[in-house]
A and B are shown apart, each in its own frame.
Chain A
């Protein structure tokens, strides 16, 4: 992951690691803000295209062919790479990173008492004070 590599400054022009993080955080915040606006139906055509640029890298070539030069495409690809890595980072280390019972990276929020579907049904039984035999078998196995 590039955030763990302080020397990974070749992804984008950055004067330092801190500058790299500033740029990435700024892009991440802006993309998130535009995404929220889009969900709320508050974006125009230009903003919608900008969001598509951020979140749909596989269609960049189709969207921007003939409209922008190659250097802009390259730059956008780098930005999308930033965002994708940052989203991975946020899901891995963020407050809603993993199911805190199983660490299964399901991304559920512990505060909302929603757990992963595969394993946390057992946890929900435990939380109600009924320790099932299935849970005991799994616990002691």
Chain B
């Protein structure tokens, strides 16, 4: 659990939980270089969601209340993960019309189907 918390802290510190926008100023502690291609960006998205899965599952298994779950759920605004072949099949990976709000919070609330990310399929190679 300690290592999972470290992984969560590191991923949040690197800003993996937020959608990168070129127009907004970044407030993350460690600025990662922009992803070179769609696959790298997809790996970052999948990596963060995998860390989150481990964090939540181990929290339930060990019955340790997660103090950051509520805060984290409200701050995450990266899209839902896609299959890896979807990342690979897109030459230029852009998300459009993804609202700047949480994805997990409305999912747990009244709206069972939050707006999911849509790939810009115009640039499918």
Interface string of A83-95 (1 = CB under 8 A from B): 0000000100011
Complex Cα gap A90–B59 (Å): 12
Q: Chain B: which residue is nearest A19 at the CB level?
A: B80
What total of chain A residues lie within 8 Å of the partner, measured CB to CB? 25
Most chain A beta-carbon contacts within 10 A, residue among B52, B60, B63, B116? B60
Tell me whether B66 is interfacial, beta carbon within 8 Å.
yes
A75 in complex: contacting residue of B53, B104, B112, CB < 8 Å: B112
Tell me whether B10 is interfacial, beta carbon within 8 Å.
no
Tell me whether B34 is interfacial, beta carbon within 8 Å.
no
Task: Write out the residue numbers on chain A whose beta carbons fall within 8 Å of the beta carbon of B60.
Answer: 28-29, 32, 90
Interface size class, chain B:
20 to 34
B82 and A15 form a contact (CB under 8 A): yes
Tell me whether B92 is interfacial, beta carbon within 8 Å.
no
Tell me whether B46 is interfacial, beta carbon within 8 Å.
yes
B50 and A30 form a contact (CB under 8 A): no
Tell me whether A126 is interfacial, beta carbon within 8 Å.
no
Interface string of A1-26 (1 = CB under 8 A from B): 00000000000011111110111011
Tell me whether B14 is interfacial, beta carbon within 8 Å.
no
Interface residues of A in 21-59 (CB under 8 A from B): 21-23, 25-30, 32-33, 36
A29 and B59 form a contact (CB under 8 A): yes
B66 and A16 form a contact (CB under 8 A): no
Tell me whether B124 is interfacial, beta carbon within 8 Å.
no
A29 and B56 form a contact (CB under 8 A): yes
Q: Which 10 A-B pairs have the closest CB atoms?
A: A29-B56, A75-B112, A19-B80, A18-B81, A25-B56, A16-B83, A32-B60, A15-B80, A25-B53, A16-B82
Q: B residues within 8 Å of A by Cβ?
A: 46, 49-50, 52-53, 56-57, 59-61, 63, 65-66, 69, 73, 79-83, 86, 104, 107-108, 112-113, 116-117
